Amino acid sequence: MRKSNFIVFVFFIGLVLFFATFISTFGQQKEPLLIGSIWDQVGFGGTIGQICLKGSQLAVDLVNEAGGIFGRKVEYINIDGQSELDVIAGAAKRLAEERKVLAAIGSEDDSLTSASGPVFQANGTVFLTGPATTPTQPEIGEYIFMPAYGDHIQGTAAAKFCAQELGWKKVAILYDAASAYSVYLSKAFQEAFKYFTNDPSAIVQVESYMTGDMTFTAQLTRIRSVQGQIDAFVTFPPEPQDAPVYSKQARSLGITVPLFFTDGGDDKSVVEVGGEAVEGAYISTQFAGDAPTTEVGKQFVLNYKNKYKEEPGCFESIGYDSMRLVLESIEAIIGIVGEEVWDSMTLAQKRTAIRNTLQLWPVFKTTTIPISYPDPETAIYPRVPNRPVIFKQIKNGELRYYTHMEPEDIANDITPVLKAMGAIKK
């Protein structure tokens, strides 16, 4: 449900009246705006984390180069969680309790969010979960928001694309049974694909592996045995490093049907490592640097290329959007309540104001695509935005835009798919 400007107006008027009582001094030195992140630089989430950090750092640099937010520079701290749950939990505690950040971003997978999210929630600190797309993450609490789409959206859109755009009738599946992302998304895709093909037998073979596996011979041999019955091989890699490994093994075993990867496979490393094995593969994702769908997205690509001398993709854009959601929220608050009121607010009050703004603001417009959050009272998955799903194809060794699907294109399909999954009651 789209929030009205009236709701936001009433909220901020109340905020002004409440915080006006705290104003005691004027003309104070403008303190920097302290924002934290936990982008892993090594381990399981390291590949994605390194890329996301570039996007969020760009957002900070652009704001500071323009003079900050109402003259306040943004101070940015990233702590490497090393893809280890205990390290991530400690990093969240350090950011929230010791460094006292206003808000934080950064998680490459919902398994990692399980370590950081509860800490930020307990400290009343907004945490944006980066490119992690499992839509149940915000159930941790009201301070946990997703900047990415949820996999109920990605799974439904991907299935519709495969069934209606590509005309596939039967497919085989490979997913990571140790990744909640891969498990949830594969289930969403399977139910949606059966729904769009109107065929309960549309999924011919389902195989799984465990995070860290490097040999897929047994699973791929079974898929090869049904190759004559399938149109494609659909996979759900939680990290980019998986996709090229099993793709090369699949081709070497004689599996020749088209490949499809979900957004965990949207990275240039998939092409660099996979080579000819991934040529022609399709990918569902969040952003295409060669064909941004908005003017803000186009400017992001230009700025990213100027800074890093390469084209951004899905994870760079999510890192950028995560930071922009926080910064635009702060700018909105100060712009409406005034600098004196902002300066008089306690840390807890500022954190709460950021949370309320994220939830209530009609549309965030400085992100690569407009973002808003549904009414938490009616949403199936609160604090999960509706974003377009982008589709790419690997052509001549490059990740190229193919088409995209808007949220309204699958709006009537989400509920039947979730019912089939057992995610909501029938």
The answer as to whether 388 is a domain residue is: no
In this prediction, residue 3 carries a pLDDT of 45
- Same domain, residue pair 186 and 255: yes
- Same domain, residue pair 170 and 246: yes
In this prediction, residue 420 carries a pLDDT of 96
What pTM value is reported for the model?
A: 0.91
In this prediction, residue 423 carries a pLDDT of 87
**CA dist., res. 259 & res. 232, Å (int):** 6
Domain count, the chain: 2
The answer as to whether 426 is a domain residue is: no
The answer as to whether 417 is a domain residue is: yes
Mean pLDDT of the chain: 93
**CA dist., res. 46 & res. 400, Å (int):** 24
- Same domain, residue pair 118 and 202: no
- Same domain, residue pair 143 and 158: no
Q: Is 51 within 8 Å of 319 (Cβ atoms)?
A: yes
What's the token pair of residue 361?
């603001």
The answer as to whether 125 is a domain residue is: yes
Q: pLDDT tens digits for 116-166?
A: 999 999 999 999 999 999 999 999 999 999 999 999 999 999 999 999 999
Looking at residue 253, which CATH number applies to its domain?
A: 3.40.50.2300
- Same domain, residue pair 275 and 183: yes
Q: Which of 239-243, 251-255, 323-327 has the lowest mean pLDDT?
A: 239-243
- Same domain, residue pair 102 and 159: no
In this prediction, residue 292 carries a pLDDT of 96
In this prediction, residue 10 carries a pLDDT of 43
First to last CA, the chain: 21
Element (H, E) at 315: helix 314-337
Among candidate residues 201, 203, 244, 253, the one with its CA nearest the CA of residue 224? 253
Contacts of 242 (CB under 8 A, 6+ apart): 176, 235, 264, 265
The answer as to whether 370 is a domain residue is: no
The answer as to whether 141 is a domain residue is: yes
**Bridge partner residues of 371 (DSSP):** 364
For the chain, give percent helix, strand, coil, nearest 5: 50, 15, 35
Domain boundary among 312, 338, 360: 360
- Same domain, residue pair 281 and 401: yes
Model confidence band, residue 11 (pLDDT cutoffs 50, 70, 90):
low
- Same domain, residue pair 39 and 116: yes
The answer as to whether 383 is a domain residue is: no
- Same domain, residue pair 340 and 417: no
Contacts of 352 (CB under 8 A, 6+ apart): 124
- Same domain, residue pair 276 and 164: yes
- Same domain, residue pair 161 and 278: yes
Domain that holds residue 214: 151-285+396-421
Higher pLDDT, 23 or 98: 98
- Same domain, residue pair 113 and 159: no
The answer as to whether 381 is a domain residue is: no
Q: Is 378 within 8 Å of 370 (Cβ atoms)?
A: no
**Bridge partner residues of 171 (DSSP):** 203, 232
Model confidence band, residue 426 (pLDDT cutoffs 50, 70, 90):
low
Domain boundary among 315, 337, 360: 360
